Amino acid sequence: MKADDVPPDVPPAALNPEKDPDAWVTKDEPMTGPQRSYLQTLCREAKEEFDQNWTKAEASKKIEQLRCGSRVHVRLAEFNAARCALFAIGN
């Protein structure tokens, strides 16, 4: 194995660790479209107010705060786990 090779058991997230949103160069820019859409769903489910003026960093923090208890996140995690299992079977 070469030094640049990645072992197959290393999850993709480990290859690109997340930076603290407060350290982002773009932290003060308006939230992205995908952040807005996901936050609207999470806020609706959590019965929390959605602020259309959140920055990228604020939106990221709010997503992290809300998604742990969200049914949307749980369903997405279950879907991804099933998809990974099917991929493993096929290889």
Q: What is the pLDDT of residue 59?
A: 94
Q: Do 54 and 39 touch, CB atoms closer than 8 A?
A: yes
DSSP string, the chain: --TT---TTS-HHHHSPPPPGGG-TTTTSBPPHHHHHHHHHHHHHHT----TT-BHHHHHHHHHHHHTT-HHHHHHHHHHHHHHHHHHHH-
The pLDDT tens digits along the chain (91 residues) read 455 565 666 555 555 567 888 888 999 999 999 999 999 999 998 899 999 999 999 999 998 888 776 555 556 667 767 777 766 665 5
Q: What is the pLDDT of residue 78?
A: 72
Question: Six-digit token pair at 66?
Answer: 């809300």
Q: What is the pLDDT of residue 21?
A: 86
